[in-house]
Amino acid sequence: MEPDTDRSPRPPITVLPPSPSVFGDAVLRAMARFLNAGWREHGGMNRGKEIEAVFLKPLGLAAGQPYCAATLAAAIRSAEAETGLRSPVRGSAGALATMAQFKAAGLWTPIRDVTPAHLVPGAALISSRGEPTAAQGHVAVILEPVGEHSVGCIEGNADRVIEPISGEIYAVCQTERRLDDPRLLGVGRWT
């Protein structure tokens, strides 16, 4: 995935759309907190004290590892603490392993079967990295639908460049994902 350049400051997200799930609401609030914290990669690719402390170390991952799925896992831990509910999906260090957890829990909808009813705030949107059959994936949390063909998301490790000269990027950012992207695999939900 090519890095995007985004130097425009965004105001913090303070109002979130409601999810049909209490747990999905809590996951989305956690992702918004990570986004609003403004953490950035520094000291190398996929590195930074917040990234390592909040996303990587709790999963036993070394500095420099991809952390999109670890960001969702951190949001799941936060949602469990906030709600007192146990997540049906534990989260993991990998997006495709997280997808397998959604499937095992009966909470997965493949992209070919996704309808607008699946595109709810707090749901997990999982894609492959590269070809649809690639061995690596990427995960984002849906913020809200944007028209008929896109969703706004919050995601970790999405390569949004702050400063092209230094290559500094946001650790967690707000994005828009097109639903006709051939890399999309499907949506995981909480209920």
- Assess whether pLDDT exceeds 90 at residue 75: yes
- Assess whether pLDDT exceeds 70 at residue 2: no
- Give percent of the chain with pLDDT exceeding 70: 85
Q: What's the confidence (pLDDT) of residue 95?
A: 96
- Assess whether pLDDT exceeds 70 at residue 110: yes
Q: What's the confidence (pLDDT) of residue 113?
A: 96
What's the predicted TM-score (pTM) here?
Answer: 0.88
Mean pLDDT of the chain: 87
- Assess whether pLDDT exceeds 90 at residue 11: no
Lowest mean pLDDT among 54-58, 133-137, 176-180: 133-137
Q: What's the confidence (pLDDT) of residue 20?
A: 76
pLDDT digits (tens, 9 = 90+) for 83-92: 999 999 999 9
Q: What's the confidence (pLDDT) of residue 130?
A: 78
Rounded to 10 degrees, the C-alpha dihedral 65/68/74/75 comes to 170
- Assess whether pLDDT exceeds 70 at residue 120: yes
- Assess whether pLDDT exceeds 50 at residue 8: no
Residue 4 pLDDT level (bands cut at 50, 70, 90): very low
Work out the average pLDDT over 167-185: 88
- Assess whether pLDDT exceeds 60 at residue 31: yes
Q: What's the confidence (pLDDT) of residue 131?
A: 75
